[in-house]
Structure 1
Amino acid sequence: MLLHICSKPTLVISRPDAAHEIMKNHDVIFSSRPASSFSRKLLYNHKNVAFAPYGDYWKQVREICVLLLLTTKRFQSFQPVREEETKAMIEIIKKSCSSSPSFFALVDLREVLMSLSNDVTCRINLGKKYGREDSVGKKFRKMIAELSYLVGVFNVGEFIPWLAWVNYVVGLEQKVEKSFQEVDSFLDQIIKDHILKRKIKDYGDHAADGVGQDFVDFLLRLQEDKSAKNTIGRENIKTIVLVSNTS
C-alpha cells in the first residue's frame, strides 16, 4: 500500500512474500535512509555508515567499521577495558548496599548499566570515559542526548515544505545549529588531544600493532596511510566516532 504522508511517499508492506521481494530482490533501491536536513547538519552531511546513502562511499566506511575497527583481534584488545569498567560497576553496587541502613538497598540498575555501556563505549571510541560525576561528563552526556533527540525529532519542513518557517518560530533550527557547534567543538578537541598524544615518544611503542589504541587513534593512523585507498578526513573521523557513541 502506497501512502503519501504530506510530501513523503511511504510504502507499507504487510505480507511476508512482499517483504521478501523488497529485502532480497530490490534491497539496493530501499537500502538508503530517508534524507533529513537535521540529521544531515548534525552528522556532517551523512558521512557515516548509519546514514550515508548506499554507494561506494558507504561501502568504504562500512569496510572501515566492520573489517578494520570491529575485527575479532581488535574486539579482544579491548577486553581489559570491559573488565575494568565491569569491576567498577560492581563496586558502585557494593557501596550502595553498604551505605544503606537497612538490609535491602535500592539500586537503579537501569542507570548503572547505562553508565557501564557509556563508559566502555567512550573508552573504546575516545580513549577516555566521561562519567556522570564530573562536569565534563555531564556536559558530554547532555550533548549526546540532545543530538540524539534532534536527529529523530519531527521536522515539519520535511513533510510540508511551505511550513518550514515553523522550525524557526519554535526554535528547532537554532537548537540544531547550537547542538552541532557544541558537539563539533568537543570532537575537534578530542582529535587535537589524540594528535598531540601521537607525537609523544612513548606512544610509538603501541603504534605498530594497534594495541592500546582507541577508534580515534586508529582512524587517524588510517588517515595518515598514503598507500591506503581512502578519503578519510577530519569530518569523517568525527561522524564515525559520533555515531558509534550515540548508537
Structure 2
Amino acid sequence: MVSLKTPIKTAIPGPTGFPILGLVFAFTSSLTHRTLAELSKAFNAKPLMAFSVGFTRFIISSHPETAKEILSSSAFADRPVKESAYELLFHRAMGFAPYGDYWRNLRRISATHLFSPKRVSGFGVFREKIGLKMVDQVSSSMQHEGIVELVSEGYELLGIFNWSDHFPVVSWFDFQGVRKRCRDLVSKVNVFVDKIIVEHREKRSENTREEAEVSDGDFVDVLLDLESENKFNDADMIAVLWEMIF
C-alpha cells in the first residue's frame, strides 16, 4: 500500500485586525511603513505578511530579496486600483495602467525616446552645463506658474489613505473629499500641460522641415511625432507628460 500525503498549505502569517475594518488603523499614521515593519517582526513574517483592510487583501514583504522577486515578476505588474491615481493620471498614464498592450506601448516609447542609453549619454555634457540654470528656471517657474502647488497637491492625494479604496459603500459619499480634490486638480493640470503642448505645436509649425530634422527636440516633440503612429490624442499626451512631471 502506498500512502499519499496531501501537502498542507500554510497560510501567510499576519495580524487579523478588527472585524470588517481589518488593519485599517495602521494606515492612519504618517509612519505606516514603520508600523508594518514592527508587525512583520512580531509575527515572524518578514519575507511575507498578509492582512486585510476592508475588502482589500494586502501582502507585503520586509525582506529585500523577497521584495525584489515580487517586483521583478510580471504576475505583480498591475498596480492596486486607487481612486486618486485613477483620477489624477487621467485614467491612462503608465504608472498605474494595467499590464497589457497599452502599458507596453507607453513603456516602449519611454525606453526608446526618453531613457535610452544613447539619448541619456548624448545629453550628458549638456545636462552638466545647464544644471544650475535649470534649477533657477524651475524655481522661477514654480513661483510664477504654480507647478509646485500642483505637484504637491498631487503627491498628497496619491499618498493619502482613502477609505473609498477599501470600503465600496463609503466611496458613494466621498467623505474625505479626495475625489473632488482630484477633479479640481485635474482641471488645472489640463490647462497647464495643454499649454505646453500648444506651445510646442506652434514652435514646430514655425520651424522649417530642415530645422526640424536637425533638432531632436524634447520628449513633447517625440510624443507629437508619434501622435499619428500610436493614435495618441491630446488627452493621452497630457496624461503621459503629467506623469513625467511627477
The two structures have a TM-score, normalised by structure 1, of 0.69
Given the alignment of the two structures, is residue 44 of structure 1 paired with residue 90 of structure 2, yes or no? yes
Q: What amino acid sits opposite 1:35 in the alignment? A: V
Which residue identity is paired with 2:90?
Y
Give 1:164 deviation, angstroms: 2.5
Q: Which runs of 5+ in 1 are unaligned?
A: 89-114, 120-128
Aligned counterparts of 1:68 and 1:244: Cα–Cα separation in 2: 13
Take 2:193 and 2:214, find their aligned partners in 1: how far apart are those partners?
25
Aligned residues: 198
Residue in 1 aligned with 2:244?
244
- 2:205 aligned residue: 199
Give CA deviations for 1:29-80 in whole Å, capped at 9, x if unaligned: 21111011211111011x2222111111111111000122222332244345
Higher RCO, 1 or 2 (CA under 8 Å, sep at least 6)?
A: 1
Residue pair 1:32, 1:52 contacting (<8 A) in 2 also: yes
Kindly report which structure 2 residues correspond to 1:103-142, keeping only aligned pairs within 5 A, or say none: 116=135, 129-132=137-140, 135-137=143-145, 139-142=146-149
Shift in Å, 1:19: 5.5
Match of 1:164 among 159, 171, 188: 171
CA distance in 1, matches of 2:116, 2:65: 35
Q: Answer whether contact 2:55 2:167 (CA < 8 A) is retained.
A: yes
Q: Which residue of 2 aligns with 1:189?
A: 195
**TM-score under structure 2 length normalisation:** 0.69
The structure number with the bigger radius of gyration is 2
Does the 8 Å contact 1:210/1:218 carry over to 2? Answer: no
Q: Percent identity?
A: 26
Corresponding position of 1:208: 213
Give the alignment's Cα RMSD to 1 decimal: 2.7
Call closer, same or farther: CA 1:72–1:21 in 2, change over 3 Å.
closer
SS in 2 for 1:187: helix
Superposed displacement of residue 135, structure 1: 4.2
Alpha-carbon distance in structure 2 between the residues aligned to 1:15 and 1:39:
27
State the AA in 2 paired with 1:198: R
Q: CA deviation at 1:152?
A: 2.2
Q: Deviations over 1:81-110 (max 9, x none)?
A: 52343344xxxxxxxxxxxxxxxxxxxxxx
CA deviations over 1:105-164 (Å, ceiling 9, x no partner)? xxxxxxxxxx73xx7xxxxxxxxx543377434x11111111122122211111122223
Question: Is the 2:70–2:76 contact (alpha carbons within 8 Å) kept by the matching residues of 1?
Answer: yes
